Structure 1
Amino acid sequence: MAVPSANEFHWQSLARLPSGRVYHTLSEVGGQMYMLGGCDAAGRPCPGLELYSPEGDRWISLPTMPTSRAGAAVAVLGKQILVVGGVGEDQSPLKVVEIYNTDEGRWRKRSSLREALMGISITVKDGRALAVGGMGSDLLPRTILQQYDLRKDVWALLPPMPTPRYDANTHLLGNKLYVAGGRQCKRPVKAFEVFDIETRSWTTLPMMPCKRSYGGVIWDTAGRLCLLGGLRQGGGHQSSKFTKNINIFDTNQGTWLKSEETVAMKTKRADFAAAFLRGRMVVAGGLGHEPSALDTVEAFHPLRKKWERLAPMTFSRCSASSIIIRDRLLVVGGVNQVPSSAHEILYVKEEEYL
């Protein structure tokens, strides 16, 4: 499939959210997008569950979650959405687990976590959810790896990670679960480890080349991990600075590419939307050296080996949630001074969305 040129990408504004939202979680079931929880303009976690309907370009309110939460980990198990942990109304981590059946339109409580956790990373393998790490009520990161069996409604402990962390980036390739980066007590970590599901063992991989937080993370179709931009941290907190640098790990070779083999982004940015779309790495919005949130967008052309500017987003923002559905990038909510209700989609022009 040919890689689209920069001028073929097009932004379209869609129906705005019912209210400004940040730290919400997006999920796809059967090609439809669901938005769960998040914080409102007052910073309160909310219980909302909304479905976006492209047919009428509108948001449909569904039965609310039994528990208000923000930053929840979400896994799709068949036609059910499993919601795990996150931050509750008292700003503390949650142990409660709930599941929404999209066919029945009903919520059910499920077996709780062993302890309250926020910042869990979750993925699905063979119909089971794998939940990695998290931060407890004592604000310390965890090494925990746990697996949820929907049929038995049981959480089982698997061998723990070598490195405790929360907000890690996880990705499943075959029988291997990769866990990259994350944080410990607000500090970024460079640890990079992989869990072999068949042998139930952890292997330590070459560490990430630099400490960065609020960067973009993209796994491309060649099985490469791409770390983009973010805030690079030196010795002291004062030396944190925006970067446009990129690090790429090749899982086939088991090594990080040399810096001369990677191409830096055009713009230094952090806390932006990042995705692999139609064969191109795409970054949108975020924070940079401008006084307000960015609206700029760029995409990497793998054949020309350069970043190219795309049309900007209509609404500048950072901390947006994003998801790829049917080769289209949806960027939902976020922050621009206050929580944003903006909702827009990036797609290739020939493919009219609505």
Structure 2
Amino acid sequence: MEVPNVKDFQWKRLAPLPSRRVYCSLLETGGQVYAIGGCDDNGVPMDCFEVYSPEADQWTALPPLPTARAGVAVTALGKRIMVIGGVGTNQLPLKVVEMYNIDEGKWKKRSMLREAAMGISVTAKDYRVYAAGGMGLDLRPHSHLQHYDMLKDMWVSLAPMPTPRYAATSFLRGSKIYVLGGRQSKYAVNAFEVFDIETRSWTKFPNIPCKRAFSSFVTLDSHLYSLGGLRQGRLYRQPKFLRTMDVFDMEQGELVTFPRKLWLPTALLAGSPSLTPIPAIFQGNQPTVLETAEAFHPGKNKWEILPAMPTPRCACSSIVVKNCLLAVGGVNQGLSDAVEALCVSDS
């Protein structure tokens, strides 16, 4: 696939989010985007549940979450949306699992997690959900890996992760679940581990070279990119935003060395999903809010500056839909209801 030219990218202002909030979870299924939960101006979790239709450029309110919460793990199982764990209105992790039937427009309680947890990483394969890690009521990171069987409405424990953590990134490739990074308390974890669904066993891969929290992980072909993030922890007195980029070749099972000159042009806290075929497009925040958007061109091996985001903000939720990157909500002198899409040409 030909890589688009920088001039082909443009931002579009879309219908605003009906309920201003931050830390909502986004999910795309059936060509629609669902915004689930989040926090209000006072940091209190909300029960908001809305769907965005790209064709109509319109948000529609849906039946609210039975349990108000933020930072939930979400996944789609056919015409059902599964919402797992998160933080409740008492600011504590939850064990609640709820499922929304898109055709019926109704919520149902499902079998709860064995322990309350926030910051769970989920993947789904063959109508089974795999939930890794999380932080419990005791604020300790979990090493749990469990799968949910929708037909039996039952959670089953699998071999625990070698490294306990929460807020990790996980993705499915073939029959393997890759789990990267995460946190233990406020400290970043650079563990990189893979669970084989068929053999039900874990393999440890080389650690991510630069230990940092809130970095983004983007896959392109057989390569995995780890970008940006926040350096903090026992060895560092002051947190620092990073330009670091690490690359892992999943076919060869080894790290690819990228020189400092190929790191991000701007130090960023958080990144966004890829816009195929460009591995990473970012809008993030340093101590001040940025409108920056930058892309790495794999053919040229360099970063390029894209048009700036119309509404500068941080902590926005993001998702790729039909080759457009949607930036939803976030913070800029208060909560933002801005929804904007970075698209290629007329897509």
Q: TM-score, with normalisation over the residues of structure 2? A: 0.97
Deviates more, 1:73-82 or 1:226-235: 226-235
Identity rate of aligned residues, in percent? Answer: 52
Aligned partners of 2:19 and 2:48 also within 8 Å: no
Give every structure 1 segment of 4 or more consecutive aligned residues whose post-TM-superposition deviation is greater than 6 Å: none
Matched, 1:118 2:118: yes
- 1:277 aligned counterpart, secondary structure: coil
Q: 2:282 aligns with which of 264, 284, 292?
A: 284
Q: Report the Cα offset of residue 55 of structure 1.
A: 3.5
Task: Answer yes or no: is 1:307 the counterpart of 2:303.
Answer: yes
Q: Is the 1:52–1:60 contact (alpha carbons within 8 Å) kept by the matching residues of 2?
A: yes
Aligned to 2:247: 248
Counterpart of 2:66?
A: 66
The CA deviation string for residues 141-194 of structure 1, in whole angstroms up to 9 with x for no partner, is: 000000001111000000100110000110111111111110001110111111
> For residue 327 of structure 1, what is the aligned residue in structure 2?
323
Shifted more, 120-129 versus 231-240: the winner is: 231-240
2:225 is matched by which residue type in structure 1? C
Compared CA separation, residues 134 and 262, structure 1 to 2 (3 A): farther
The equivalent of 1:96 in structure 2 is 96
Greater shift in the superposed pair: 104-113 or 316-325: 316-325
Q: Give the Cα–Cα distance (whole angstroms) in 1 for the partners of residues 28 and 48 of structure 2.
A: 16
> Which of 318, 332, 337 is matched with 2:314 structurally?
318
- Residues in 1 aligned to 2:23 and 2:234: alpha-carbon distance in whole angstroms: 29
Contact 1:168 1:179 in 2 (8 A): yes
Structure 1, gaps ≥5 residues long = none
- Partners of 1:4 and 1:278 within 8 A in 2: no
Superposition pairs for residues 1-354 of structure 1, below 5 Å?
Answer: 1-220=1-220, 222-233=221-232, 235-260=234-259, 263-271=262-270, 273-288=271-286, 291-351=287-347
CA separation in 1, counterparts of 2:106 and 2:2?
43
User: Deviation at 1:285?
Assistant: 2.0
Q: Is the 8 A contact 2:36 2:48 kept in 1?
A: yes
Instruction: Determine if contact 1:333/1:342 at 8 Å carries over to the other structure.
Output: yes
Rounded Cα–Cα distance in structure 2 between residues aligned with 1:237 and 1:138: 25
Could you give the per-residue CA deviations for residues 292-333 of structure 1, whole angstroms, max 9, x where no partner exists? 211010111112111110100111111111111111111111
Higher mean displacement: 255-264 or 44-53? 255-264
Q: Tell me whether 47-56 or 97-106 shows the greater mean CA deviation.
A: 47-56
AA at the equivalent of 2:289: A
Secondary structure at 1:124 match in 2? strand
* Alpha-carbon distance in structure 1 between the residues aligned to 2:177 and 2:228: 23
Give distance in 1, aligned partners of 2:233 and 2:183: 15
Q: Which amino acid aligns with 1:183?
A: R
Give the conservation status (yes or no) of the 8 Å contact 2:272–2:319. Answer: no
1 CA distance for matches of 2:275 and 2:53? 22
In the TM superposition, what is the alpha-carbon distance from 1:281 to its structure 2 partner?
A: 2.3
- Which deviates more from structure 2 when the two are superposed, residues 52-61 or residues 123-132? 52-61
C-alpha distance after superposition, 1:207-246 (max 9, x if no partner): 11011112222112x1322111111236534242111110
Task: Give CA deviations for 1:68-121 in whole Å, capped at 9, x if unaligned.
Answer: 000000010001000000000000000010000111100000000011100000
Q: CA deviation at 1:40?
A: 1.1
User: Secondary structure at 1:335's aligned position in 2?
Assistant: coil
Tell me, yes or no, if the aligned pair for 1:232 and 1:240 is still in contact at 8 Å: yes
TM-score relative to the length of structure 1: 0.95
Compute the displacement of 1:59 (Å).
Answer: 1.2
The unaligned stretches of length 5 or more in structure 2 are none
* Equivalent residues of 1:179, 1:193 under 8 A apart: yes
Would you say how many aligned residue pairs link Structure 1 and Structure 2? 347
Shifted more, 52-61 versus 233-242: the winner is 233-242
Aligned-partner Cα distance in 1 for 2:313–2:6? 21
Give 3-state SS (helix, strand or coil) of 1:213's partner. coil
- Report the Cα distance in structure 1 between the residues aligned to 2:11 and 2:207, rounded to whole angstroms: 37
Q: Distance in 1 between matches of 2:66 and 2:155?
A: 20
Tell me, in whole angstroms, the C-alpha distance in 1 between the residues paired with 2:283 and 2:210. 22
Structure 1 residue identity aligned to 2:310: T
SS at match of 1:164: coil
Deviations 1:249-284 (A, max 9, x none): 11111111113398211111113x322213112333
